[in-house]
């Protein structure tokens, strides 16, 4: 799957179309330094934990905060010295920030009006955008009368109405409850697919990122730690944060044939034959737990561990283990009861080599 | 069930409020309340109700009332024009000495108005720092004119407006201005089309407050603008003058000002009287 990343990052300054940016922002002890490149039509998701600098990156792209250094090119034009109101950039804010004193229609007409359209012309454009979002019936409604999903679409229409060459979305689904989220996610995916210029969205939700974006850029502590297609990142996580997001146990070590010696801890037997620094990953469901050391097990990987914590995870029990190898294991409620699992209980954890996946670090 | 559900918010609102009040707190509290109320009651008791209609329809009263309303309204307008931008500057920008500027703006709140009047004379008087140039270049004289009254009232009332609007601005989400900016609005357009409508209630409250303060202004007005009936004699000045030779007229005029004050309080009740 790594082959899909190769449309990735051409050298800076060589894109005449789309986005080409290196964003460096110093904020006291925090430093953001990320490189972003995208062609028109691309949807890029900045994924990362809270405080990673995602929103800072978005604000730098929109011009709301200045770059400390780096560059920002959009369709071959330098934007880093341009005031935010003069950038061809549209923003959908996390809580939408629809102007509460204006109707949905006037919210959408605000942008065209500021960019020089006459009142009637701006309203005509706004009507068309609301139509396209399926909101024609709510044109006269004030934002507080709109549902979360409707407000989100008005915010999207408002951002698109200025015909931006770069669309930024800050946690576009975070303000919605679980049920509307599903529906709005699908709609947003459709609208983003229709959008002909570059879209960059920021999220801490891996599902949103994977559904909405063609390419993920994972940011931690102000730096890009991994980028690639959603499936590539889901299969080959390179940091603990991503591994947790996609629900994998992840270890770093050095491969010698079928064995991976971990930097700390025991070895893991894998089916891949590699050498040099590698990652090994396996899903929590691949782990089998035993109370006593199994004798007849064909599993090549067997570790002595201790239960650190238990929690329900869907219809299963998720066990956090410490000991020889810290790992997460999923098991059925029945199995957990039969094993009499409780924090502090000693267990044996087995993983078949075929269930592990090793890839070069 | 409905009963308990209904009473819940009420109970929440009164949380921490005791029904049992210790005497050492109750007695002074009642004295304080009486002290505030008694003068007002006295005003009502001693009011010359029978002769009131003719008192209030005399030409001097109308002259003073008209002048008061005109000047207070003009002072409020002037305060709005310069006070709202000043409040925006204090709330939304960062410049060296901002805290100092803010303190200066609020100074007239605590400054004795007479001192304000003296200071205005020194600035805009015929021989004042600015006034001498106004006089010799443009032939403009400010002290002892109706314009002088408006200036004196503005000086005293504007801080109320600035403080009120600044507080509202601080409470308002500045990100709406950012959103407007990303839509192509200049900072001024963002202020005019987004921020101003959002803070309108705060501006209105500040304006009412400033208007009430201007209406009651005495010290700075009499010092800077004098006491000429029809030109600079506003209601408070008329009350003061009447008290010396026609107490009944003074009471009648006071009643009018009291009525205006109560009206102002009623207008602001949602903002202030419901404060927890």
* ipTM of the complex model: 0.79
Share the mean pLDDT of chain B.
Answer: 86
Per-residue model confidence as pLDDT tens digits over B238-253: 899 888 888 888 888 8
Q: Is it the case that residue A299 has pLDDT exceeding 90?
A: no
- Band (pLDDT 50/70/90 cuts) for residue B14 is low
Per residue in A344-357, pLDDT (tens digit) is 889 999 999 888 98
Share of chain A above pLDDT 70, in %: 95
> Is A93's CB within 8 Å of B179's CB?
yes
What was the pLDDT predicted at B132?
A: 85
Rounded to a whole number of angstroms, the distance from the CA of A83 to the nearest CA of chain B is: 9
Task: Break chain B into its structural domains and give their ranges.
Answer: 71-232
Estimate to the nearest angstrom the gap between the alpha carbon of B17 and the chain centroid: 32
pLDDT at position B126: 84
- The minimal CB distance from B176 to the residues A64, A90, A97 is found for A97
- Cβ-Cβ contacts under 8 Å, B194 against chain A: 99
Of all residues in chain A, the one with the smallest CA distance to B187 is: A85
Rounded mean pLDDT of chain A?
A: 89
Q: Is the pLDDT of residue A14 over 60?
A: no
DSSP 8-state code for residue B229 = T
Interchain contact, B186 vs A100, CB within 8 Å: no
B184–A89 CB contact, under 8 Å: no
B270 close to A (CB below 8 A):
no
For residue A92, give the chain B residue with the closest CA.
Answer: B179
Contact predicate B267/B208, CB 8 Å = yes
pLDDT for the residue A119 = 92
Centre a 10 Å sphere on the Cβ of residue A208 and count the other Cβ atoms it contains. 23
Domain covering B71-232: architecture: Orthogonal Bundle (1.10)
Average pLDDT over residues A310-315: 86
For B120-156, how does the pLDDT look when each residue is reduced to its tens digit (9 = 90+)? 999 998 888 988 888 888 888 888 899 999 999 999 9
The pLDDT of residue B8 is 46
pTM value?
0.79
Instruction: Indicate if the pLDDT at residue A269 is higher than 80.
Output: yes
- Quick: pLDDT tens for B34-70: 999 999 999 888 888 888 888 878 887 888 888 999 9
| For residues A277-292, average pLDDT | 91
Q: Do B182 and A115 touch (CB under 8 A)?
A: no
Cβ distance B183 to A97 less than 8 Å, yes or no, reads no
Give the pLDDT band (50/70/90) at residue A213: very high
Question: What letter would DSSP give residue B174?
Answer: T
Question: How would residue A5 be classed by pLDDT, with cut points 50, 70 and 90?
Answer: very low
The chain B residue lying nearest A90, using CA atoms, is B182
Q: Reduce the DSSP state of residue B17 to 3 states and report it.
A: coil
Confidence of residue A176 (pLDDT cuts 50, 70, 90): confident
Q: Do B176 and A162 touch (CB under 8 A)?
A: no
A–B CB contacts, 8 A cutoff, strictly below? 55
Tokens 């207070």 correspond to B72
Which pLDDT score, from 0 to 100, does residue A3 have?
Answer: 39
> For residue B181, what is the nearest residue in chain A, using CA coordinates?
A85
Choice among A148-152, B12-16, B121-125, B202-206 with the minimum mean pLDDT: B12-16
Specify the long-range contacts of residues A131-137, CB closer than 8 Å, at least 24 apart: A132/A157, A133/A157, A133/A191, A135/A104
A97/B175 CB distance under 8 A: yes
């Amino acid at each position: 799957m790594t082959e899909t990343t190769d449309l990735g990052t051409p050298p800076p300054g060589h894109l005449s179309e789309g986005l080409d940016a290196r964003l460096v922002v110093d904020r006291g002890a925090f430093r953001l330094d990320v490189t972003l490149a995208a062609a028109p039509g691309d949807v890029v998701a900045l994924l990362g934990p809270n405080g990673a600098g995602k929103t800072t990156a978005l604000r730098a792209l929109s011009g709301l905060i200045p770059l400390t250094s780096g560059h920002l090119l959009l369709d071959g034009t330098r934007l880093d010295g341009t005031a935010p109101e003069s950038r061809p950039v549209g923003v959908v804010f996390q809580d939408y920030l629809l102007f509460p004193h204006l109707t949905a229609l006037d919210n959408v007409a605000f942008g065209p009006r500021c960019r020089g359209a006459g009142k009637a012309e701006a309203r005509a454009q706004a009507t068309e955008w609301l139509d396209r979002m399926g909101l024609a019936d709510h044109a006269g409604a004030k934002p507080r009368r709109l549902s979360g999903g409707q407000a989100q679409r008005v915010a999207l229409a408002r951002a698109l109405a200025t015909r931006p060459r770069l669309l930024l979305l800050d946690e576009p689904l975070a303000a919605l409850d679980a049920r509307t989220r599903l529906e709005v996610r699908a709609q947003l995916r459709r609208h983003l697919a229709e959008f002909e210029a570059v879209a960059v969205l920021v999220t801490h939700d891996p599902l949103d990122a994977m559904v909405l974006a063609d390419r993920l850029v994972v940011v931690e502590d102000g730096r890009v730690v991994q980028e690639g297609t959603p499936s590539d990142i889901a299969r080959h996580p390179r940091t603990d944060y991503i591994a947790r997001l996609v629900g994998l146990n992840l270890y770093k070590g050095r491969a010698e044939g079928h064995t991976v010696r971990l930097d700390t801890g025991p070895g893991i037997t894998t089916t891949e034959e590699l050498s040099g620094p590698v990652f090994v990953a396996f899903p929590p469901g691949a782990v089998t737990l035993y109370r006593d050391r199994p004798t007849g097990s064909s599993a090549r990987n067997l570790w002595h561990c201790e239960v650190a914590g238990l929690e329900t995870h869907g219809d299963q029990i998720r066990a956090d283990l410490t000991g020889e190898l810290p790992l997460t294991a999923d098991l059925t409620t029945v199995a957990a009861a039969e094993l009499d699992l409780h924090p502090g209980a000693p267990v044996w954890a087995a993983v078949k080599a075929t269930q592990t996946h090793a890839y070069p670090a | 069930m409905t009963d308990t559900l209904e009473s819940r918010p009420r109970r929440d609102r009164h949380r921490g409020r005791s029904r049992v009040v210790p005497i050492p707190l109750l007695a002074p509290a009642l004295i304080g309340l009486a002290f505030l109320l008694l003068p007002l009651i006295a005003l009502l008791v001693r009011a010359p109700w029978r002769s009131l209609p003719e008192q209030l329809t005399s030409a001097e009263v109308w002259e003073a009332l008209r002048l008061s309303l005109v000047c207070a309204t003009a002072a409020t307008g002037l305060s709005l024009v310069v006070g709202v931008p000043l409040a925006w500057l204090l709330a939304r920008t960062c410049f060296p000495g901002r805290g100092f500027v803010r303190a200066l703006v609020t100074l007239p709140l605590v400054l004795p108005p007479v001192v304000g009047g003296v200071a205005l004379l020194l600035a805009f008087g015929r021989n004042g720092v600015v006034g001498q140039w106004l006089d010799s270049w443009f032939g403009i004289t400010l002290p002892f004119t109706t314009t002088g009254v408006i200036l004196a009232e503005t000086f005293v009332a504007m801080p109320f407006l600035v403080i009120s609007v600044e507080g509202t601005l601080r409470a308002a989400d500045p990100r709406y201005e950012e959103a407007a900016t990303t839509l192509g609005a200049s900072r001024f357009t963002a202020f005019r089309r987004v921020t101003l409508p959002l803070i309108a209630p705060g501006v209105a409250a500040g304006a009412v407050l400033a208007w009430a303060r201007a209406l009651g202004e005495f010290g700075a007005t009499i010092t800077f603008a004098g006491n000429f009936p029809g030109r600079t004699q506003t209601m408070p000045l008329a009350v003061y003058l009447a008290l010396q030779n026609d107490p009944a007229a003074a009471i009648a005029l006071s009643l009018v000002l009291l009525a205006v004050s109560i009206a102002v309080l009623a207008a602001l009740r949602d903002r202030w009287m419901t404060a927890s």
